[in-house]
Homo-oligomer: A and B are copies of this chain.
Amino acid sequence: MAETFRKEIVQRITKNLLDIQMLRLIQTQPMWGYKIKKQVEAKFGVRLRHGALYPLLNNLERKGFLTSEKQRQGGRTRKVYTITRKGIQYVEAYNSILKEQLEGF
């Protein structure tokens, strides 16, 4: 049962706080959409539709949490995202809230 709960909660957090989980991933190293999709799916056990992912990435860039750079690999293009200072601050705010939650009410 505890394991069922775990999976369910992880999936809920991933779904509802997907942008934060993505920023955290990109914080470890710059990454492009497709790779983010694969990593999120593997790490959190959720299906991440690309139809939701790419608009979200563009949105995070528009808001200043990410910057992107197009990289060519032969004829194929990757849009590699890097986290900004603003993005790091957002993740840090999240981390500090987690800490408080663990310390209890």
Contact yes or no, B89 A1, CB < 8 A? yes
The answer to whether the Cβ of A34 comes within 8 Å of any Cβ in the partner chain is no
Partner-binding segment picked from A45-53, A75-83, A90-98 = A90-98
A90 nearest CB neighbor, chain B only = B5
Interface residues on A, range: 20 to 34
**A1-B89, A16-B17, A89-B1 known; A102 vs B105 contact (CB < 8 Å):** no
The answer to whether the Cβ of A56 comes within 8 Å of any Cβ in the partner chain is no
10 closest Cβ pairs, A-B complex = A16-B16, A5-B93, A6-B93, A98-B98, A5-B90, A98-B102, A9-B94, A9-B93, A9-B97, A2-B89
Known pairs A13-B97, A102-B102; list 9 more (Cβ under 8 Å).
Answer: A5-B90, A9-B20, A9-B90, A12-B16, A12-B17, A16-B16, A16-B17, A28-B105, A98-B101
